[in-house]
């Protein structure tokens, strides 16, 4: 990472644009998927937090932003407010299924209802442009990111009881009077379902280990091959990849390489910020791995892969619930780290709507970049694929680009504003490209991130 006076670290990116369409993995449109892309040589966790809060997302070191008003299946950034999360009936079923398996050792015979528990198919991945490659780091095409964690909505038992109590009451009552605290049954927290008491003679032992993947920790290096072998089996069984496709280099590029540098701060979580693997060890062997980023305001889910022999345990759903619990744990150490980002919500693809059941959750407005409760957004998405969620007609992008001249560029190892770069006679040919890039990242990020100029 480039560091200047005062030990300031910089994010360095190369912008690729994104004018051509590619195959959509959701609706199978051959050229309907559109996104902007850039290669990140290195990135601070705060810059990435700011970028994902503008609709960007990483796959390896490639960072992309879907063109929501043009792409066939719009992908909206979704986050869950982890401290307020309460598991639904179907969530509890998944957690109890795992507890039962650990206790008595018997795998369920089949998955629940054919749920899409894992990542989207390879065709849904962002495509790195073939006509331009990042300077000094030429990469092959990247694969998709985001696991699937299927669930169904459920009304809590407390809500049901309140409805029954007031069903025959005065119709003028808009909100039922809540029962007194003494009569209210407090819902069981998520952690109680995860770490419930197990008998001493349990058939299995499940341990979740957090290992830093970038830069790789000794624990990550020691378990690398075992983790890769699970990934290879997963890709072959779940995504029907031929044996040579999930290569070790592809695994490294997709799930191990990360532009995020390891960072620590006095008010941050003890484990620090950056990219990690959460390894699920069952009786001494890895059966699943959740790839996550720990950022200043959130835990961001990147991918989940698991051993096909354990597919009936709904490991996609289980890992998401564990990651929400992990976010809650980190929030106690760092109060502003309170959200769990599930990647993208795709309402136009019915099997991808399950992410909206991890509530309370919000979707990111694609025009103002304000967070809006998903209940409001879904009403709009029922009528149109693309929607502006912010209902205030006067609201705009608080970080809208105002002066492209203040955007920072890196030219011949020197950091300078784009205006100074242009005065050198270097900016005439790329002004439209730089303008487009700066519009997408916003004024604040444009003034912090270094755009590489050859």
pLDDT tens string for the chain (454 positions)? 666 555 679 999 999 988 789 999 889 999 999 999 999 999 999 999 999 999 999 999 999 999 999 999 999 999 999 999 999 999 999 999 999 999 999 999 876 533 443 343 343 455 555 434 454 433 333 233 233 324 333 334 433 344 333 333 333 333 344 445 555 678 999 999 998 756 778 999 999 999 999 999 999 999 999 999 999 999 999 999 999 999 999 999 999 999 999 999 999 999 999 999 999 999 999 999 999 999 999 999 999 999 999 999 999 999 999 999 999 999 999 999 999 999 999 999 998 999 999 999 999 999 999 999 999 999 999 999 999 999 999 999 999 999 999 999 999 999 999 999 999 887 678 999 999 999 999 999 999 999 999 8
Report the pLDDT value the prediction gives residue 436, as an integer from 0 to 100. 97
Report the pLDDT value the prediction gives residue 20, as an integer from 0 to 100. 84
Report how far residue 225's alpha carbon sits from residue 238's, in angstroms, rounded to the nearest whole number. 20
Nearest to 64 by CA among 129, 131, 139: 129
Report how far residue 350's alpha carbon sits from residue 250's, in angstroms, rounded to the nearest whole number. 30
The phi and psi torsions of 173 (rounded to 5 degrees) equal -75, 115
Do 450 and 415 contact (CB within 8 A), yes or no? yes
Instruction: Tell me which DSSP letter residue 385 carries.
Output: S
Report the pLDDT value the prediction gives residue 330, as an integer from 0 to 100. 98
Do 82 and 328 contact (CB within 8 A), yes or no? yes
Do 126 and 59 contact (CB within 8 A), yes or no? yes
Report how far residue 168's alpha carbon sits from residue 170's, in angstroms, rounded to the nearest whole number. 7
The whole-angstrom distance between residue 63's C-alpha and the CA centroid of its chain comes to: 12
Residue with the two structure tokens 């044996």: 243
Report the pLDDT value the prediction gives residue 425, as an integer from 0 to 100. 80
What is the pTM for the complete model shown? 0.86
């Amino acid at each position: 990472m480039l560091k200047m006076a005062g030990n300031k670290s910089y994010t360095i990116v190369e912008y690729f644009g994104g004018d051509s369409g590619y195959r959509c993995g959701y609706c199978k449109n051959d050229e309907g998927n559109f996104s902007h892309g850039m290669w990140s040589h290195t990135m601070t966790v705060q810059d990435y937090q700011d970028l994902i809060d503008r609709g960007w997302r990483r796959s390896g070191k490639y960072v992309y932003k879907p063109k929501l008003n043009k792409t066939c299946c719009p992908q909206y950034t979704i986050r869950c407010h982890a401290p307020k999360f309460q598991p639904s009936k179907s969530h509890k079923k998944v957690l109890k299924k795992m507890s039962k398996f650990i206790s008595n050792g018997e795998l369920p015979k089949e998955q629940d209802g054919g749920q899409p528990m894992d990542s989207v198919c390879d065709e849904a991945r962002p495509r790195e442009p073939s006509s331009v490659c990042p300077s000094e780091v030429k990469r092959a095409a990247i694969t998709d990111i985001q696991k699937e964690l299927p669930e169904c909505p459920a009304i809590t038992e407390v809500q049901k009881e309140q409805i029954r109590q007031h069903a025959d009451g005065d119709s003028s009552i808009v909100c039922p009077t809540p029962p007194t605290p003494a009569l209210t049954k407090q819902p069981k927290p998520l952690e109680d379902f995860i770490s419930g008491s197990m008998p001493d003679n349990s058939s299995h032992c499940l341990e979740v280990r957090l290992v830093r993947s970038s830069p790789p920790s000794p624990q990550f290096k020691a378990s690398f091959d075992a983790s890769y072998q699970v990934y290879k089996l997963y890709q072959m069984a779940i995504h029907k990849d031929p044996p040579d496709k999930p290569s070790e280099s592809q695994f490294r590029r997709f799930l191990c390489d990360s532009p995020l540098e390891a960072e620590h701060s006095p008010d941050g979580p003890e484990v620090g910020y950056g990219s990690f693997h959460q390894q699920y060890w069952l009786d001494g062997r890895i059966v699943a791995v959740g790839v996550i980023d720990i950022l200043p305001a959130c835990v961001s889910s990147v991918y989940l892969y698991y051993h096909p022999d354990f597919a009936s345990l709904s490991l996609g759903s289980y890992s998401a619930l564990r990651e929400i619990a992990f976010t809650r744990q980190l929030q106690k150490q760092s109060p502003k780290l309170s959200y769990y980002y599930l990647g993208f919500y795709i309402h136009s693809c019915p099997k991808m709507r399950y992410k909206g059941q991890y509530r309370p959750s919000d979707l990111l407005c694609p025009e103002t970049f304000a967070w809006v409760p998903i209940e409001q957004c879904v009403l709009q998405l029922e009528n149109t694929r693309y929607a502006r969620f912010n209902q205030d007609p006067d609201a705009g992008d608080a970080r809208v680009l105002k002066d492209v001249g203040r955007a920072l560029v890196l030219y011949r190892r020197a950091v300078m504003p784009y205006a100074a770069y242009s005065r050198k006679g270097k900016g005439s040919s790329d002004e439209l490209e730089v303008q487009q890039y700066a519009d997408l990242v916003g004024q604040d990020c444009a003034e912090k991130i270094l755009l590489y100029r050859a």
